[in-house]
Copies of this chain bind each other. A is one copy, B any other.
Amino acid sequence: MTTGMGRRERKKAATRQALADAALRLFLERGYDNVGVREIADAADVSTTTLQKHFPSKESLVFDRDADIEEALIAAVRDRARGTSVLAALRDHTLARVERGAAAGGASEFMTLVRGTPALSEYWHRMWMRHEKSLSHVLAAETGAPETDPGCAALAHFALETSALAIRAEDPARTVEAAFAILEHGWRAAPR
């Protein structure tokens, strides 16, 4: 994965990785708020200025692979099976994410960290909701509604919000199902 680059780019990637690794390790060990960025830079043996060149904020250190999460969301909609509605594809994807989080896999302590740190939860939420507009447009295209249809905007917003809602819920899977049940029925029945 780091092949095909020159030495310069490899070193850059290595520095970035060292920073993200050190940050995650320290955060998991001692808690997000008890670790300073200067300390992380130290652990990765670079200056804080370098850290900032790679990561624009402390939060972004945790979501090093955030592009993956975003890509997965887009792909879930783009590559949905024929005959599957966008909404159904989103429901399945959300459900899969939520259930994967519930299974105490290796990513579980990561999830615990994010859930237990308001700054990280909010950062993740902003990241997630960045796709609200695109999703709204996809929904509009699917149903032949105008691109700025308020109903599509609302539906997109709610569908994405469901993730945030489920993560905090005591029964995430049932919450996802209940939320999408409302949205799917409401979407069919609501006048347009």
Contact of B186 with A182 in the complex, beta carbons under 8 Å = yes
Q: List 26 A-B contacts (CB under 8 A).
A: A149-B178, A150-B171, A150-B174, A151-B178, A151-B179, A151-B182, A153-B175, A153-B178, A154-B179, A155-B182, A157-B161, A157-B165, A157-B179, A158-B158, A158-B179, A161-B161, A181-B186, A181-B190, A181-B191, A182-B182, A182-B183, A182-B187, A184-B186, A186-B186, A186-B189, A188-B189
Contact of A154 with B150 in the complex, beta carbons under 8 Å = no
Contact of B185 with A189 in the complex, beta carbons under 8 Å = yes
In the complex, the count of this chain's copies comes to 2
The docked-state distance in angstroms from the alpha carbon of A188 to that of B188 is 12
**Which A residues from 142 to 176 make CB contacts under 8 A with B?**
148-151, 153-155, 157-158, 161-162, 165, 169-171, 174-175
The docked-state distance in angstroms from the alpha carbon of A82 to that of B125 is 38
Question: Which B residue sits closest to A158, measured CB to CB?
Answer: B158
Contact of A158 with B182 in the complex, beta carbons under 8 Å = yes
Chain B residues positioned under 8 Å from A153 (CB to CB): 165, 169, 175, 178
Chain B residues positioned under 8 Å from A162 (CB to CB): 154
The docked-state distance in angstroms from the alpha carbon of A84 to that of B97 is 38
Question: Which B residue sits closest to A155, measured CB to CB?
Answer: B182
Asked whether any CB of chain B lies closer than 8 Å to the CB of A109, the reply is no
Contact flags A13-25 to B (C-beta < 8 A → 1, else 0): 0000000000000
